[in-house]
């Protein structure tokens, strides 16, 4: 009887030890699920205190900035995580990784400095700040200040063809010789563009290169078109004018943002036969803005489908219209 009691006691000790190990493992697993690759809490102090680092640049140069990827952002209210459309973490492929030097950044690139924890889950990289490329004007002079155009790309994932297309599109932008501008293009990993990340991106640029704060502009296509409305609705005091092209209608309507952007000059376009983004919603947005006495120009692109952006961005009239606005004019 005593021997059985001893065996039973040993069994209880062994059982409780196993149970404790299982509970510890479950806690560790929970940490893995919750830990993103960026651990510095995003704040304006981090931007101003030198957390961000730029590579050296020259007039006409193209550089890649990764410093903001160290910053962790809380998911904004109303945002949709990538699970909404079951987006796979495409960035885990090195040839697609927007934080890497691939394919051609070379000396114009600085490797992100992340203090990776044991709990890191790279699937959550979309919680981190944006990596972005920046094109310096050919005639850049450090004694002058320049307009800034921020371009928001479309889509909800990327591949090599996507990156190649946006490279060609960047080179297609009309850039007047007598009024050259700085061009910045972030890469998003989540479904919708995050206004807080764009705010910090603009501050990072202003800290490192001479930007005219009265001449900051925002444009984007498809998911970047709706992103233009989303970002401008939260940063209405930042932009002198915006240009949303073919804004996508999902995952939720952007019509409610009309009130928040009504004081910003808007140049908007959409194809009448677009089968990907809703032309009807775009026209509804135009009507709402007109009813609010907004300064909006709307151009219907006839028969081009979900495209036509190269022609728009290369149009000197359109870009000169955008650059004609200064913040004090609004």
| Residues 68 and 153: beta-carbon distance below 8 Å | no
Rounded CA-CA distance 94/91 in Å is 7
Name the pLDDT band for 123 (thresholds 50, 70, 90). confident
Instruction: Phi first, then psi: give them for residue 250, nearest 5 degrees.
Output: -120, 165
- The predicted structure's pLDDT at residue 146: 98
- The predicted structure's pLDDT at residue 120: 77
Beta strand extents in 154-301 (DSSP E only): 182-187, 211-221, 241-245, 266-271, 296-301
- Strand pairing of 131-135 and 182-187? antiparallel
Q: What is the mean predicted confidence (pLDDT) over 103-132?
A: 77
Mean pLDDT score of the chain? 85
Angle at 101 between CA 76 and CA 156, to 5 degrees: 35
| pLDDT tops 60 at residue 9 | no
- The predicted structure's pLDDT at residue 32: 40
- The residue that leads in pLDDT, 4 or 301, is 301
Burial class, 154, CB count within 10 angstroms (exposed 0-12 / middle 13-18 / buried 19+): buried
| pLDDT tops 70 at residue 239 | yes
User: Cis peptide before 92, with omega less than 30 degrees from 0?
Assistant: no
| pLDDT tops 80 at residue 55 | yes
How far apart are the two ends of the chain, measured CA to CA in Å?
Answer: 91
- The residue that leads in pLDDT, 139 or 18, is 139
| pLDDT tops 80 at residue 214 | yes
Angle at 186 between CA 166 and CA 85, to 5 degrees: 85
Name the pLDDT band for 75 (thresholds 50, 70, 90). confident
Q: What is the mean predicted confidence (pLDDT) over 225-234?
A: 98
- The residue that leads in pLDDT, 8 or 316, is 316
| pLDDT tops 50 at residue 11 | no
Rounded CA-CA distance 10/157 in Å is 55
Tell me the percentage of the chain whose pLDDT exceeds 90: 58
- The residue that leads in pLDDT, 117 or 289, is 289
Other C-beta atoms lying within 10 Å of the C-beta of residue 179: 14
| Residues 322 and 217: beta-carbon distance below 8 Å | yes
Name the pLDDT band for 125 (thresholds 50, 70, 90). confident
- The predicted structure's pLDDT at residue 17: 47
Which residue matches tokens 């807080």?
Answer: 196
Q: Copy the structure tokens of residue 221.
A: 């296509």
pLDDT digits (tens, 9 = 90+) for 24-43: 344 344 444 457 788 777 76
Q: What is the mean predicted confidence (pLDDT) over 71-88?
A: 75
Q: What is the mean predicted confidence (pLDDT) over 183-196?
A: 94
Instruction: Output the pTM of the full model.
Output: 0.87
Q: What is the mean predicted confidence (pLDDT) over 278-292?
A: 98
- Hey, what domains does the chain have and what are their CATH numbers? 35-329 (3.40.50.1820)
- The predicted structure's pLDDT at residue 237: 97
Q: What is the mean predicted confidence (pLDDT) over 182-192?
A: 94
Name the pLDDT band for 51 (thresholds 50, 70, 90). low
Name every residue whose Cβ is closer than 8 Å to that of residue 24 and which is 6 or more positions away in sequence.
Answer: none
| pLDDT tops 70 at residue 141 | yes
- The predicted structure's pLDDT at residue 10: 44
């Amino acid at each position: 009887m005593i021997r059985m009691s001893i065996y039973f006691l040993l069994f209880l000790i062994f059982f409780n030890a196993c149970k404790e190990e299982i509970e510890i493992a479950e806690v560790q697993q929970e940490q893995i699920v919750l830990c993103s690759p960026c651990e510095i809490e995003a704040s304006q102090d981090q931007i101003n205190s030198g957390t961000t680092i730029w590579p050296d640049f020259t007039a006409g140069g193209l550089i890649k900035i990764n410093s903001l990827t160290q910053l962790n952002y809380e998911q904004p209210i109303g945002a949709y995580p990538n699970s909404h459309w079951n987006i796979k973490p495409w960035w885990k492929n090195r040839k697609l990784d927007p934080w890497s030097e691939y394919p051609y950044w070379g000396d114009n690139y600085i490797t992100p400095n992340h203090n990776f924890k044991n709990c890191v889950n790279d699937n959550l990289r979309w919680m981190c700040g944006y990596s972005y490329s920046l094109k310096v004007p050919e005639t850049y002079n450090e004694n002058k200040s320049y307009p800034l155009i921020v371009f928001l790309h479309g889509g909800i994932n990327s591949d090599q063809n996507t990156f190649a297309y946006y490279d060609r599109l960047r080179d297609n932008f009309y850039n007047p010789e007598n009024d050259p501008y700085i061009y910045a293009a972030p890469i998003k990993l989540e479904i919708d563009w995050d206004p807080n990340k764009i705010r910090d991106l603009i501050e990072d640029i202003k800290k490192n290169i001479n930007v005219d704060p009265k001449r900051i502009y925002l444009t984007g296509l498809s998911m970047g078109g709706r992103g233009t409305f989303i970002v401008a609705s939260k940063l209405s005091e930042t932009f002198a004018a915006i240009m949303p092209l073919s804004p996508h209608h999902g995952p939720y309507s952007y019509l409610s943002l009309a009130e928040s952007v009504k004081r910003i000059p808007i140049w908007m376009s959409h194809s009448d036969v677009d089968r990907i983004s809703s032309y009807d919603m775009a026209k509804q947005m135009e009507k709402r803005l007109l009813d609010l006495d907004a300064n909006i120009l709307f151009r219907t692109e006839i028969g081009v489908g979900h495209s036509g952006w190269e022609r728009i961005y290369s149009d000197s009239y359109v870009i000169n219209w955008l650059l004609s606005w200064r913040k004090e004019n609004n």
